[in-house]
């Protein structure tokens, strides 16, 4: 103990042995930092004297930021966005998806997603395609939504010619062999089983809310292949669909991190005058139906008590999603609706984070913070070319379903009320921040370019969108919310639905001034 005290005393007093050790190590052990006296009176905001002036990368005018679009003779659109870096993301986006399957078997788009990057006229197998991409450090992916199918490749920019030729072959020359179709049947069957067993009900509820909101039309058609159709879909069925929807005028070749002229040359070389595997390049019967919002309810009674077993099982919950029609992404009201959705925010009952995680959004402040028994309250906004849907998803114990639904209907009614200036500014800032942060990613820029050009033949740049967000006023949010509340609701319910209010009662609550459900009286419980 005495030895420890002696050492501490020497350190505090600056003993001789410390001084000698500093001298022994010499000047090389002593370093003077800029904050230690070398530049004592220069603030950090001013350049240091004697330091070379930095040279930053510059662009020659605003045109370097613009998305360039060229239309080929066959109607194919080629769009590119400049971006510094060694790698590029290139892909083909097509106006094709489950909304166009009204005259076909539901599930074709789901099958095509699984069959993507399989054998083609030039490549004997998927492995051969992957080996070709690996030479350029490339990866590939295919995703389908209700209205768009996207084939994408990220690879070294030097391999652009190879990438475009491969994409053209994958999209227009797939073999669709019996073996590949059979393997896809198994993959689809597995995905459907997984969808019904997974603890997270959000994908299934999203499917159900669309089915309720757009009964048997366009975006209300099944996005996932129904079980009864798995065995019915074959090469002939797929070709009949591809013949109508995989035509050049419905496609965009988009690229990020590539020279526009080089991309156009590759498109002319590999996508102009090509005879597809299904024969004719002319569409015969294209569905141009406009989405018809119907409203309604979709219910699925299910025992949720054993969804998540283990040492910390998720308690049995009932999940409700209530939605109202908003607007398409082509309308001016799309931006106010996006701000409203951000203002509602929400999430799970547990979230580690601060304001950036939406902890000051309405669904946190008014719902999750006040009602400890609610496990989730989240706002979603789905928007399409001709319609949109603003939804709130909530989860709670089956015994408190009625109270949960009333809390959600009250929040919908409050959307049409007074909008606080502080919460509006917070929502606008958060939306702008999220937009700009996402657009740091090359694949996200690619998807944004492709989707916008596919829908409007042009692209709004980020700074234009930020200006539109900044210009949203409280009266804009109140106006779009009030308009939305005049429509019929769409309801999706999953789990134990014993205490679920009737659709008529939910509709009545959303038509009232306070969002309360009509009182019900029971002689026996």
Per-residue model confidence as pLDDT tens digits over 179-223: 999 999 999 999 999 998 888 899 999 999 999 999 999 999 999
Name the pLDDT band for 524 (thresholds 50, 70, 90): low
For residue 46, what pLDDT is reported?
Answer: 84
Distance CA 47, CA 177 (A): 67
**Dist. CA 303–CA 318, nearest whole Å:** 9
What's the confidence (pLDDT) of residue 350?
A: 63
> Stretch 370-399: mean pLDDT, rounded?
96
Structure letter (DSSP) for residue 370: T
Pairing of strands 388-396, 374-383: antiparallel
Residue 39: pLDDT band (50, 70, 90) is low
User: What integer pLDDT is reported at residue 59 of this predicted model?
Assistant: 57
Domains of the chain: 67-271 (3.30.830.10), 296-511 (3.30.830.10)
- For residue 251, what pLDDT band results from cuts at 50, 70 and 90? very high
Supply the pLDDT for residue 15. 41
pLDDT band at 512 (very low <50, low <70, confident <90, very high): very high
**pLDDT value of residue 332:** 96
pLDDT band at 8 (very low <50, low <70, confident <90, very high): very low
Report pLDDT for 6. Answer: 43
**pLDDT above 60 (res 523):** no
Chain center to CA of 388: 15
Tens of pLDDT, residues 415-473: 999 999 999 999 999 999 999 999 999 999 999 999 999 999 999 999 999 999 999 99
* CA separation for the pair 323, 295 (Å, rounded): 9
Tokens of 430: 């958060």
User: Mean of the pLDDT values across residues 121-136?
Assistant: 96
Out of 21-35, 61-75, 274-288, least confident range: 21-35
Q: With a cut of 80, say whether residue 312 has pLDDT above it.
A: no
Question: CB–CB of 325/213 below 8 Å?
Answer: yes
pLDDT score of 418: 95
3-state secondary structure of 468: helix
Among 224, 386, 214, 220, smallest CA distance to 296 is for: 214
What's the pLDDT score for residue 343? 96
Which residue matches tokens 């909008």?
Answer: 419
pLDDT at residue 315, as a whole number: 86
Indicate left, alpha or beta for 358 from its phi (over 0: left) and psi (-120 to 50: alpha): left
Task: State the alpha helices, DSSP H only, in 59-173.
Answer: 108-115, 126-134, 160-172
Considering only 223-232, 278-287, 488-497, 516-525, which range has the smallest mean pLDDT?
516-525
Range 265-277 average pLDDT = 95
Given this model, what pLDDT does residue 42 score? 82
Q: Own/partner pairs for 220-224, CB < 8 Å, 24+ apart?
A: 220/291, 220/294, 221/98, 221/99, 221/101, 221/102, 221/106, 221/146, 222/98, 222/106, 222/107, 223/97, 223/98, 223/109, 223/110, 223/144, 223/145, 223/146, 224/107, 224/110, 224/188, 224/191, 224/192, 224/195
Nearest to residue 158, comparing CAs of 181, 192, 187, 135? 135
Question: Where would I find the H helices in 384-511?
Answer: 401-415, 421-438, 442-456, 462-470, 474-485, 503-511
Q: Please report the DSSP string for 125-155 in residue order.
A: SHHHHHHHHHTTT-EEEEEE-SS-EEEEEEE
* Predicted confidence (pLDDT) at residue 19 exceeds the cutoff of 60: no
List the structure tokens of 469: 């967000």
Residue 174's SS3 state is strand
Band (92; pLDDT cuts 50, 70, 90): very high
User: Quick check: 355 pLDDT over 80?
Assistant: no
Confidence of residue 74 (pLDDT cuts 50, 70, 90): very high
Instruction: Please give the mean pLDDT across all residues of the chain.
Output: 89
Closest CA to 294 of 221, 217, 222: 217
Instruction: Retrieve residue 275's tokens.
Output: 């005879």
**Separation between Cα atoms, residue 291 and residue 370, nearest integer Å:** 38
Looking at beta carbons, which pairs linking 180-185 to residues 24 or more positions away fall under 8 Å? 180/115, 180/118, 180/119, 181/111, 181/115, 181/233, 181/234, 181/235, 181/238, 184/111, 184/114, 184/115, 185/230, 185/231, 185/233
């Amino acid at each position: 103990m005495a030895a420890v005290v002696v050492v501490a005393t020497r350190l505090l007093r600056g003993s001789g042995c410390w001084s000698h050790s500093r001298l022994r190590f010499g000047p090389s052990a002593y370093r003077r930092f800029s904050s230690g006296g070398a530049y004592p009176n220069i603030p950090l905001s001013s350049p240091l004297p004697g330091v070379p002036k930095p040279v930053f990368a510059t662009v020659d005018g605003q045109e370097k930021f613009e998305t360039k679009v060229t239309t080929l003779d066959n109607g194919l659109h080629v769009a590119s966005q400049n971006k510094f870096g060694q790698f590029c993301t290139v892909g083909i986006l097509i106006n094709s998806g489950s909304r166009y399957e009204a005259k076909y078997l539901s599930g074709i788009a789901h099958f095509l997603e699984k069959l993507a990057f399989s054998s083609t006229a030039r490549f004997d197998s998927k492995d051969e395609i992957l080996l070709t991409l690996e030479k350029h450090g490339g990866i590939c992916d295919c995703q389908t939504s209700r209205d768009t199918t996207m084939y994408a490749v990220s690879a070294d920019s030097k391999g652009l010619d190879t990438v475009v030729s491969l994409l053209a072959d994958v999209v227009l020359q797939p073999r669709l062999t019996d073996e590949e179709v059979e393997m896809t049947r198994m993959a689809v069957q597995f995905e459907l089983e997984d969808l019904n067993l997974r603890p997270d009900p959000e994908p299934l509820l999203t499917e159900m809310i669309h089915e309720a909101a757009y009964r048997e039309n366009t975006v209300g058609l099944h996005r996932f292949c129904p079980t009864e159709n798995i065995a019915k879909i074959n090469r002939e069925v797929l070709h009949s669909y591809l013949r109508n929807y995989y035509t050049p005028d419905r496609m965009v070749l988009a690229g990020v991190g590539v020279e526009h002229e080089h991309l156009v040359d590759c498109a002319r070389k590999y996508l102009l005058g090509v005879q597809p595997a299904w024969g004719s390049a002319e569409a015969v019967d294209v569905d141009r139906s406009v989405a018809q919002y119907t409203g309604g309810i979709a219910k699925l009674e299910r025992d949720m008590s054993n969804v998540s077993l283990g040492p910390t099982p998720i308690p049995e919950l009932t999940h409700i999603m209530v939605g109202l029609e908003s607007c398409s992404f082509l309308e001016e009201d799309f931006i106010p609706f996006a701000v409203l959705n951000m203002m509602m925010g929400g999430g799970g009952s547990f979230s580690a984070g601060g304001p950036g995680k939406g902890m000051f959004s309405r669904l946190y402040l008014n719902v999750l913070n006040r009602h400890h028994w609610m496990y989730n309250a989240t706002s979603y906004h789905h928007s399409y070319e001709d319609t949109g849907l603003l939804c709130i998803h909530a989860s709670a114990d089956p015994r408190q379903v009625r109270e949960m639904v009333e809390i959600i209907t009250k929040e919908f009614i409050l959307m049409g009320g007074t909008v606080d200036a502080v919460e509006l500014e917070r929502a606008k800032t958060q939306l702008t921040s999220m937009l700009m942060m996402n657009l740091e990613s090359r694949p996200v820029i690619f998807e944004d370019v492709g989707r916008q050009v596919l829908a409007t033949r042009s692209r709004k740049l980020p700074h234009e969108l930020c200006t539109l967000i900044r210009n949203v006023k409280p009266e804009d949010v109140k106006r779009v919310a009030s308009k939305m509340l005049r429509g019929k609701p769409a309801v999706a319910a999953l789990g134990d639905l014993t205490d679920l209010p009737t659709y008529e009662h939910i509709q009545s609550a959303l038509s009232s001034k306070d969002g309360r459900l009509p009182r019900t009286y029971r002689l026996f419980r």
